[in-house]
């Protein structure tokens, strides 16, 4: 299941969304709604997707959901031009009309004040020339959503870059932007990272860390996710490994890598040791991992990432006694997702999705971990506890980051102190070109006698300082390392403007 296109949709909404989604749509037209303490199945959803879906609620009561190829509104109608985007991507393959997106954690919805990014990991696509990161816009007039097909543009060509199926996202330390993380499929053991901001998508430096054996010659990954505080990244894999990293929300750096090998390390597509589904308790102290045969709880030292204890919470009664899941009567736990009510829900499906099975009824229920912070059996796991009223979850649950995560107060990157957006005005400072290699030019249109300009690296260290006056100034940056920088301009009356730039 190789990924071919990473797709972004820009949705101009003029609505802020920070609450965790209460409307979930996933699988084969399945859905649930969280109403305070209750969970109610909803069969009105239109989404079909084997492995990828994302949902988001807005403050005015509307919501949208997507499998990456198509988007639906809160009336469960296709957003205008969804089919045009689908046909653009699916130039040679129309199987996703029925099955949707078959990429693990393949969708992300990242909201800003004026729009929402929809990130899509597309493993089908058209010709090789189409491989890459694409950008589209969806506008909103009153309550109507509209995709601008004319806005399509390629941001990065991925023709020669293979990544694992999972995408993970969490908020930057400024409380507004987002980090997007994935991993290359090769022997270099390399993470790729993007910083998603309102003005653009920044390609950040790659980082080599983790288990080389984990990704070599295989894109068959399980779920990848951050904890609720954004300080840890977790990656699961079908060959039975779990990687745990510390994550710096300011710099995007991964460190303090620890590898967990549950059971006997025995790679294989259908074997009992594989890890596909994974979740983390709200307090970050427990990792839940599901293979074909079991659900295991790992208690982790949140300071060192070291394993403290391991408890088998549940053994799958539908796993064959000969320890090999090779038929569709073998129903297994699949994707996990932490819900707004603090519980963790788990999808159930067969080894080959949507094929006839003697256990079809089981696929129409979700399992639930009621007290995920609790140790061992006190977590109160209930298999097949939430009815989907006949709809199947397939392997899929919505892939939602923690929208409630705020700025990291006091960090060098907590730079947004007034508004979430820089409002355009006739006096705004311009720094160009951006990206730049050797020189940048400052245009300072505000009438003033003097001003100070400074550049800061991603760790908040000042690397350049200029005192000047007038409307234009050229500045040499050839000595700076490649990467993203924050700039700040201070007028003589104390007024401050700031922004970002990239050194190539």
Helix H, strand E, coil C: the string for 373-388 is: CCCHHHHCEEEEEEEC
Task: For residue 217, name the pLDDT band (cuts at 50, 70, 90).
Answer: very low
For the record, the structure tokens of 314 come out as 């549940």
Whether the pLDDT of residue 181 is over 50: the answer is yes
Cβ(52)–Cβ(101) under 8 Å? yes
What's the angle, vertex CA 481, arms to CA 478 and CA 486, rounded to 5?
95
Domain definitions of the chain by residue range: 1-161, 262-400, 430-503
Reference 197, options 438, 416, 488, 492; nearest CA is 416
Q: By CB neighbour count within 10 A (0-12 exposed, 13-18 middle, 19+ buried), where does 411 fall?
A: middle
Give the Cα separation of 4 and 132 in Å (integer): 7
For the record, the structure tokens of 445 come out as 């249109």
Q: Determine the pLDDT at residue 77.
A: 95
Architecture of domain 430-503: Sandwich (2.60)
Cβ(275)–Cβ(335) under 8 Å? no
Reference 459, options 254, 251, 255; nearest CA is 251
Residue 327 region by backbone torsions, left for phi larger than 0, else alpha for psi between -120 and 50, else beta: beta
Task: For residue 264, name the pLDDT band (cuts at 50, 70, 90).
Answer: very low
Using H for helix, E for strand and C for coil, what is the string for 59-94?
CCCCEEEECCCCEECCCCCECECHHHHHHHHCCCCC
pLDDT in tens, 450-481: 889 999 987 788 899 998 877 667 789 989 99
pLDDT in tens, 375-419: 999 999 999 999 999 999 988 999 889 998 988 877 767 766 433
Instruction: Please state the rounded mean pLDDT for residues 201-206.
Output: 80
Instruction: Please state the rounded mean pLDDT for residues 186-195.
Output: 80
Give the Cα separation of 450 and 452 in Å (integer): 7
Cβ(210)–Cβ(234) under 8 Å? no
What's the angle, vertex CA 175, arms to CA 171 and CA 176, rounded to 5?
80
pLDDT in tens, 294-323: 899 999 998 888 889 899 999 988 776 555
pLDDT in tens, 248-257: 998 899 999 9
Higher-pLDDT residue of 65, 293: 65
Percentage of the residues of the chain whose pLDDT score is greater than 90: 29
Lowest-confidence segment of 169-183, 198-212, 267-281 by average pLDDT: 267-281
Higher-pLDDT residue of 134, 341: 341
Residue 348 region by backbone torsions, left for phi larger than 0, else alpha for psi between -120 and 50, else beta: beta
Output phi, psi for 84, to 5 deg: -65, -40
Give the Cα separation of 50 and 497 in Å (integer): 46
Whether the pLDDT of residue 270 is over 70: the answer is no
Instruction: Please state the rounded mean pLDDT for residues 3-32.
Output: 73
Q: Determine the pLDDT at residue 215.
A: 46
The structure's pTM equals 0.81
Mean pLDDT, rounded, of the chain: 80
Name, in order, each residue with C-beta under 8 angstroms of 97's C-beta and a sequence gap of 6 or more. 86, 90
The DSSP H or E segment spanning 108 is strand 107-111
Give the Cα separation of 208 and 191 in Å (integer): 6
Higher-pLDDT residue of 385, 447: 385
Higher-pLDDT residue of 346, 501: 346
Task: For residue 345, name the pLDDT band (cuts at 50, 70, 90).
Answer: very high
For the record, the structure tokens of 150 come out as 């004319």
Lowest-confidence segment of 113-122, 277-286, 481-490 by average pLDDT: 113-122
Higher-pLDDT residue of 467, 187: 467
For the record, the structure tokens of 298 come out as 């790992």
Task: For residue 421, name the pLDDT band (cuts at 50, 70, 90).
Answer: very low
Q: Side-chain half-sphere of 13: how many Cα atoms within 13 Å?
A: 25
Q: Determine the pLDDT at residue 269.
A: 44
pLDDT in tens, 96-138: 556 667 778 888 888 887 788 888 776 655 554 555 567 677 7
Reference 429, options 478, 477, 496, 504; nearest CA is 496
Instruction: Please state the rounded mean pLDDT for residues 12-20.
Output: 60
Q: Determine the pLDDT at residue 233.
A: 96
Lowest-confidence segment of 39-48, 427-436, 480-489 by average pLDDT: 427-436
CA 24 to chain centre: 16
Q: By CB neighbour count within 10 A (0-12 exposed, 13-18 middle, 19+ buried), where does 330 fall?
A: buried
Reference 104, options 160, 53, 162, 161; nearest CA is 53
Give the Cα separation of 461 and 251 in Å (integer): 12
Whether the pLDDT of residue 81 is over 60: the answer is yes
Task: For residue 210, name the pLDDT band (cuts at 50, 70, 90).
Answer: confident
Higher-pLDDT residue of 332, 187: 332
Q: Determine the pLDDT at residue 265.
A: 41
């Amino acid at each position: 299941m190789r990924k071919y296109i990473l797709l972004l949709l820009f949705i101009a909404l003029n609505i802020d969304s920070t609450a965790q989604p209460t409307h979930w749509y996933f699988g084969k037209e399945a859905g649930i709604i969280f109403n305070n303490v209750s969970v109610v199945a909803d069969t009105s959803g239109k989404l079909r997707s084997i492995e990828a879906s994302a949902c988001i609620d807005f403050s005015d009561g509307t919501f949208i959901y997507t499998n990456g190829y198509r988007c639906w509104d809160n009336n469960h109608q296709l957003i205008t031009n969804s089919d045009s985007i689908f046909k653009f991507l699916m130039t040679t393959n129309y199987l996703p009309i029925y099955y949707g997106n078959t990429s693990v954690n393949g969708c992300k919805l990242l909201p800003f004040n004026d729009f929402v990014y929809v990130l899509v990991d597309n493993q089908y696509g058209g010709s090789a020339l189409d491989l890459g990161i694409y950008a589209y816009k969806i506008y909103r007039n009153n309550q109507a959503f509209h995709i601008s097909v004319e806005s399509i543009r390629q941001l990065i060509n991925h023709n020669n870059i293979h990544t694992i199926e999972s995408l993970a996202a969490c908020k930057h330390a400024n409380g507004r932007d987002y980090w997007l993380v994935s991993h290359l499929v090769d022997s270099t053991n390399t993470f790729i990272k993007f910083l998603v901001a309102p003005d653009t998508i920044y390609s950040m430096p790659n980082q080599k860390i983790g288990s080389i054996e984990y990704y070599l010659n295989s894109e068959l990954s399980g779920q990848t996710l951050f904890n609720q505080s954004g300080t840890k990244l977790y990656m699961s894999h079908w060959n039975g490994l779990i990687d745990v990293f510390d994550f710096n929300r300011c710099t995007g750096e991964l460190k303090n890598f620890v590898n967990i090998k549950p059971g006997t390390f025995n790679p294989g597509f259908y074997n009992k040791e594989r890890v596909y589904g994974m979740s983390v308790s709200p307090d970050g102290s427990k990792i839940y991992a599901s293979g074909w045969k079991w659900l295991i709880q790992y208690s982790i030292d949140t300071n060192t990432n070291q394993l403290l204890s391991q408890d088998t919470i549940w053994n799958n009664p539908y796993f064959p006694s000969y320890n090999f899941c090779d038929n569709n009567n073998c129903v297994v736990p699949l994707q996990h997702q932490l819900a707004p009510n603090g519980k963790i829900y788990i999808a159930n499906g067969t080894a080959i999705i949507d094929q006839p099975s003697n256990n079809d009824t089981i696929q129409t229920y979700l399992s639930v971990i009621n007290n995920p912070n609790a140790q061992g059996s006190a977590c109160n796991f209930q298999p097949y506890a939430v009815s989907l009223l006949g709809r199947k979850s397939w392997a899929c649950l919505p892939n939602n980051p923690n929208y409630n995560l705020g700025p990291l107060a006091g960090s060098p990157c907590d730079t947004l102190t007034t508004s979430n957006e820089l409002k355009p005005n006739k006096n705004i400072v311009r720094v160009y070109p951006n990206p730049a290699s050797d020189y940048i030019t400052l245009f300072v249109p505000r009438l003033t006698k003097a001003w100070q300009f400074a550049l800061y690296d991603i760790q908040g260290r000042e690397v350049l300082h200029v005192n000047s006056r007038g409307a234009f100034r050229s500045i040499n940056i050839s000595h700076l390392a490649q990467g993203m920088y924050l700039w700040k301009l201070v007028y003589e009356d104390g007024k401050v403007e700031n922004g970002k730039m990239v050194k190539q």
